[in-house]
Amino acid sequence: MLDSDSAAHLEDEIGAWRDYLGKRQAIHTADVDELEDHLRAQLAQLIEAGLAADEAFLIAVKRVGDLDAVSREFAREHSERLWKQLVVGGTDASGSSAARKDGVVAISLAVAAAALIKLPALFGITMSEDAGFYGRNLSLFVLPVLAAYFAWKRGLEGALVRRIAAVFVVAAVVANAFPFVPGGSTEALTALHLPIALWLTVGLAYAGHRWKDGAARMDFIRFSGEFAIYYVLIALGGGVLMAFMAMIFQAIGIDVEPFFESWLLPCGAVGAVIIASWLVEAKQAVIENMAPVLTRLFTPLFAVALITFLGAVAWTGRGVDISRDVLIAFDLLLAVVLALLLYSASARDRQSPPGLFDVLQVALVVSALLADAVALWAIAARITEFGFTPNRVAALGENLVLLVNLGWSAVLYTRFLRNRGPFSAVERWQTSYVPVYGIWAAIVVVVFPLLFGFS
């Protein structure tokens, strides 16, 4: 609920928005009223989720912009004002107070995550001697804390919170109770796939009771992309900090590398997850998001790279080396292609007709689909010749999951290019398919160790 001052201020903003629509285009009052109904519905959801009035207003206007071009223009013209308010603390006292409280909670939870990753050291479990333990449990040190942050932020309670907590408890039991062979394949697969399954559990906390809504899942996808960018920027800044620290302490004969390895690096890595999430939440949709901008830059580059790769495969007749490291890199490449598709969809005006960038998107998806088929052929050939192993079966399943997603995405996008289907169908397919990745990751974590004798 908003206090009286914030509510009055919000009504003034809505009035300014209506006036703007009336001045910039000839529009019937009934149409404005319909748009205002959409705007108020978005506002109610965002304020209920914990956003301040000004933040909720601008995000709601931006979303309504998908329905009306003048609303989108209004959002662009007013974003600079709201950005400045957020940076300097805002003119709305209640909003500023909420932002400070949110920051204090986020920093406190970042410290808690840092403390958690050092907790095993009290029991003699060190990173240098117990790499397998830390590999399996790394996501469990920080993602439950991040889920708690979003549960607090969204005001979640009751059965949903219990379900989220139960997932983390089961994950902790599986990661630590299974008798993995040290350095074995199933232990490595657990370390790789558990963060994927738990990240989607964080998504459940992020979206709350709206998880079944495709728009809420798309919001989490947007958050994930922005989070990755913020986290990389923080990591780069942390790398510069450590380099300078090493240099200045070395000048006085002190070796700080052990401190970096034991404290600064692990604590900073998990703490930055919370801080990056808080920053994305704080600045969400205030300025043009970075992920869609980068998508515009890298889509043609990745399309050219994949087409060149396919041409080289056809020219040389060589198969794909399916060693574990190569397959991981290959799957990451395909995941990046899907990310490019997702973030372009998240920023695209649904009402705009197909354009050149859409043609590039289809070229990227089709080339990725063919590259995935090449990888699948290589994996199937190796399984036929040498039999099943945990790594080969995991790679086979992951590439099949990607194949289905890419294949139907190509169909839907081609229909859109030919004006035989709406662009919203592409977005709905992507958001509906997200849980499949979590389900497959959970199967690898829980079933594979049992199936392959923890080897």
- Compute how many other C-beta atoms are within 10 angstroms of the C-beta atom of residue 351: 12
Q: Which residues contact 318 (CB under 8 A, 6 or more apart)?
A: 312
| Residue that is written with structure tokens 């959801």 in the block | 45
Amino acid 174: pLDDT: 94
Per-position DSSP letters for 250-313, written without gaps between them: HTTT---HHHIIIIIHHHHHHHHHHHHHHHHHHHTTTS--HHHHHHHHHHHHHHHHHHHHHHHH
Q: pLDDT tens, 137-152?
A: 999 999 999 999 999 9
- 90 is written with which tokens? 């805002």
The whole-angstrom separation of Cα 279 and Cα 290 is: 13
Q: Dihedrals φ, ψ of 255, to 5°? A: -90, 110
Any alpha helices (H) in 178-251, and if so which ranges? 185-207, 214-250
- 38 is written with which tokens? 């959409």
Residue positions counted in the chain = 455
Task: Give the mean pLDDT of 81-98.
Answer: 50
Percent of the chain with pLDDT over 90: 32
The whole-angstrom separation of Cα 232 and Cα 239 is: 10
Longest alpha-carbon distance in the chain: 76
Task: Give the mean pLDDT of 309-321.
Answer: 79
- Compute how many other C-beta atoms are within 10 angstroms of the C-beta atom of residue 409: 25
What is the b/e burial string over 87-108, where b = at least 16 CB atoms within 10 angstroms of the residue's CB? eeebebeebbebbeebeebbee
Q: pLDDT tens, 188-236?
A: 999 999 999 999 999 999 988 888 888 788 888 888 888 988 999 999 9
Per-position DSSP letters for 77-110, written without gaps between them: HHHHHHHHHHHHT-S-HHHHHHHHHHHHHHHHHH
Task: Give the mean pLDDT of 395-424.
Answer: 90
Amino acid 216: pLDDT: 84
Angle between helices 424-451 and 159-177 (to 10 degrees): 40
The whole-angstrom separation of Cα 409 and Cα 194 is: 26
- 208 is written with which tokens? 């709350």
Cα-based torsion angle of the residue sequence 125, 187, 163, 338 in order, rounded to the nearest 10 degrees? 120
Domain ranges of the chain: 4-88, 96-174+192-283, 290-421
Amino acid 146: pLDDT: 96
- Compute how many other C-beta atoms are within 10 angstroms of the C-beta atom of residue 119: 10
Q: Residue 229 burial by CB count (10 A; 0-12/13-18/19+): exposed, middle or buried?
A: middle
